[in-house]
Amino acid sequence: MTVVTTGGPLPPQPYDVAVVGAGVVGSAIARALARHPRLRVALVEAQDDVGQGTSKANTAILHTGFDAVPGSLEARLVREGARLLTAYAAESGIPVERVGALLVAWDREQLATLPRLAGKAARNDCHDTRLLGPAELYAREPHLGPGALGALHVPGESIVCPWTTTLAYATQAVRNGVHLHLECRVEQAARRDGVHELTTTRGTLRAHRLVNAAGLHADTLDRRLGLDDFTVTPRRGQLIVYDKFARSLVRHILLPVPTALGKGVLVAPTVHGNVLLGPTAEDLDDKRATGSTADGLAALREQGRRVLPALLDEEVTAVYAGLRAATGHEDYRVRAHPAQGLVTVGGIRSTGLTASLALAEHTLDLLRETGLDPGPARDLEPVRMPNLGEAFPRPYQRADLIAADPSYGTLVCHCERVSLGEIRDALAGPVPPRSLDGLRRRTRARAGRCQGFHCGAAVRALFEAGRRDAAPAPGAPAEAGGT
């Protein structure tokens, strides 16, 4: 019996551990805790789905960690996390493509920086980087704009599906006994007799130990618990997704040579068969400022034009903006507070997707420091996620699947080739979508070039029918997801 709630009262008896924030990091931690059957674990999320915050809107790269600060916690966890996530993805069906990255030097100064970056990569245990001259660079990337002088090739850099990753963790956690409480925003926090009392929009939730994985809001939650270690400054990254016809223009993740101002704007293929351009980097103070701006998009296009001129001729499929949890520190802000029965997992930037499984292991160690005895561990039954990646057979390409169930041959979303069967499966999943956006992250339906012109109404009809059929959770909102 799985437990996912979106309304109604919360169980009165205290959990052993409550994880606040069901992003990629919080979900990974919940999954790690689920390996210990003796623990009662809650995963608490303010929004109506997992991965709805920073996790859904990143650059979708599985990093090697070649450019991390050597010796930092981030460097170690990214390195370990990359190995763990690569293995986990293979087991779970999360699409990953090891396309490699090219750090492209556009002037002499940048060219001179490349050997130093290769040295840094080696210090980060990434020993297979290689310097390329312009001839080899253009042979590898024939559509690259003119004027590149050379590149550093980092073959291990990969692209991954961020939506499937978060959903796989959450699904596996829920299947193994974790209670997922959605639409459950933490508004107050207090600790009485060693028990945390979280006042949420859905009542009080109690837990002996707390993991703060609240992303952008980790500093707020920490302060409610009497801690003042860091401040999260939202850093907005706007990105443009280009149409699938652009995919043949680029073979690697094309990175600029990093400068003092940051990692800069990249051009990268996605596992869904598109091309990403972005992100911008704008420090803001509004944690809800997830809008794109005309200036931001113009700046991205300007930079994209230099890297891959033909990209600008292709249609834009989507524009989005994500907020990174910048803290003004160079490293993650992960710390145990044994006196408070708390582990804070803060300041996790875009590398958090790669590091998620290692962060989860690290958090479990820190929970032990707070006196938690997790008890015996078991291996979890693997999850098998529906494949959203273009490098692997999609359901409509599988004659065996269609023969067994014709709904996999019935396409509903034509641009993304999403079948009726996949939509039905997503709606019946252990962590079902609560909105059309949630359905899109599970199936890609409505994510394509027409953005619903052809299929939007049909997908909405399926979604609403699926919600009507599902047994309504107590107090679940009657309102449908809208478009």
Partner 1 sequence: MSAVRQVDVLVVGAGPAGLTAAATLAARGAGRIEVLERERTPGGAPRTCAHGGFGSWRRPLTGPRLARELAEAAVRAGAVVRTGVTALDWAGPLDLATVGPEGPEILRARAVVLATGARERPRAARLVPGTRPAGVYTTGELQRAVHLHRQPIGTRVVIVGAEDVSYAAADTARRAGAEVVALVTDLPTHRTAPARALDTRLRRGVPLLTGAVVAELLGHGRLSGVRVRHHDGRTAVLPCDTVVFTGDFVPEHELARRGGLVLDPRTRGPAVDGALRTSRPGVFAAGNLLHAVERAATAAREGALAAAAVTAALAAAGPGAGTAAGPGAPRPDGVPLTVDPPLRWITPSRVTPADALPYTLRTASRLTRPLLEITQGGRVLHRQRVRGAAAGRSLTLPAHWTHRVDPAGGPVRVAVR
> Which lies closer to partner 1 via its Cβ, residue 106 or residue 396?
396
Using CB under 8 A as the binding rule, whether residue 409 contacts partner 1 is answered as yes
82 SS3 class: helix
Contacts of 400 (CB under 8 A, 6+ apart): none
Q: Which of 36, 63, 272, 362 is catalytic?
A: 63
List 1, 260, 261, 294, residue binding partner 1 (CB under 8 A): 294
Please, what is the minimum distance in Å from the beta carbon of residue 7 to partner 1? 16
DSSP string, 375-386: ----PPPPP-PP
> Which lies closer to partner 1 via its Cβ, residue 219 or residue 437?
437
Distance CA(187)–CA(205), nearest Å, equals 11
Please, what is the minimum distance in Å from the beta carbon of residue 165 to partner 1? 21
Distance CA(98)–CA(89), nearest Å, equals 12
Between the CA atoms of 312, 272, 140 and 308, what dihedral angle is there, to the nearest 10 degrees? 10
> Which lies closer to partner 1 via its Cβ, residue 239 or residue 308?
239
Using CB under 8 A as the binding rule, whether residue 303 contacts partner 1 is answered as no
Please, what is the minimum distance in Å from the beta carbon of residue 406 to partner 1? 4
Distance CA(26)–CA(28), nearest Å, equals 5
Contact at 8 Å (CB) between 208 and 341? Answer: yes
List 158, 356, 435, 443, residue binding partner 1 (CB under 8 A): 435
> Which lies closer to partner 1 via its Cβ, residue 3 or residue 457?
457
Using CB under 8 A as the binding rule, whether residue 201 contacts partner 1 is answered as no
Using CB under 8 A as the binding rule, whether residue 53 contacts partner 1 is answered as no
Using CB under 8 A as the binding rule, whether residue 284 contacts partner 1 is answered as no
- Residue 7 vs residues 215, 253, 475: alpha-carbon distances, Å: 23, 42, 5
> Which lies closer to partner 1 via its Cβ, residue 362 or residue 446?
446
Please, what is the minimum distance in Å from the beta carbon of residue 123 to partner 1? 40
List 377, 399, 428, 473, residue binding partner 1 (CB under 8 A): 399
Contact at 8 Å (CB) between 15 and 206? Answer: yes
* Of 77-85, 220-228, 346-354, 475-483: span binding partner 1 (CB under 8 A): 475-483
Distance CA(304)–CA(136), nearest Å, equals 21
In Å, how far from its chain's centre is CA 416? 20
- Where does residue 400 rank: exposed (0-12), middle (13-18), buried (19+ CB within 10 A)? exposed
> Which lies closer to partner 1 via its Cβ, residue 2 or residue 290?
290
* Of 176-184, 285-293, 383-391, 469-477: span binding partner 1 (CB under 8 A): 285-293
> Which lies closer to partner 1 via its Cβ, residue 82 or residue 297?
297
- Pairing outcome for strands 3-5 and 179-181: parallel
Using CB under 8 A as the binding rule, whether residue 478 contacts partner 1 is answered as no
Contacts of 423 (CB under 8 A, 6+ apart): 412, 439, 443, 445, 459, 462, 463, 466
Please, what is the minimum distance in Å from the beta carbon of residue 210 to partner 1? 27
List 293, 338, 425, 429, residue binding partner 1 (CB under 8 A): 293
In Å, how far from its chain's centre is CA 264? 19
Using CB under 8 A as the binding rule, whether residue 233 contacts partner 1 is answered as no
Nearest Cα neighbor of 14 from 172, 180, 210 is: 210
List 206, 396, 466, 476, residue binding partner 1 (CB under 8 A): 396
In this structure, what token pair is assigned to residue 385? Answer: 């996620």
Using CB under 8 A as the binding rule, whether residue 46 contacts partner 1 is answered as no
> Which lies closer to partner 1 via its Cβ, residue 16 or residue 416?
416
Strand partners, 4: 180
Q: Which of residues 239-268 bind partner 1 (CB under 8 A)?
A: 241, 245
In this structure, what token pair is assigned to residue 347? Answer: 């300041």
List 414, 473, 474, 477, residue binding partner 1 (CB under 8 A): 414
Using CB under 8 A as the binding rule, whether residue 235 contacts partner 1 is answered as no
Distance CA(257)–CA(254), nearest Å, equals 10
> Which lies closer to partner 1 via its Cβ, residue 207 or residue 297?
297
In this structure, what token pair is assigned to residue 211? Answer: 């993991």
Distance CA(279)–CA(264), nearest Å, equals 7
ω before 279 within 30° of 0 (cis)? yes
63 an active-site residue? Answer: yes
DSSP string, 367-412: HHHTT-------PPPPP-PPP--TTS--GGG-HHHHHH-GGGSSEE
Using CB under 8 A as the binding rule, whether residue 290 contacts partner 1 is answered as yes
List 181, 208, 362, 449, residue binding partner 1 (CB under 8 A): 449
* Of 96-104, 215-223, 364-372, 394-402: span binding partner 1 (CB under 8 A): 394-402
Read off the amino acid at residue 453. Answer: F
| Contacting positions for partner 1 (CB under 8 A) | 241, 245, 288, 290-294, 296-297, 315-320, 396-397, 399, 402-403, 406-407, 409-411, 414-415, 417, 435-437, 449-454, 456-458, 460-461, 464, 481-483
Residues tagged active-site: 63
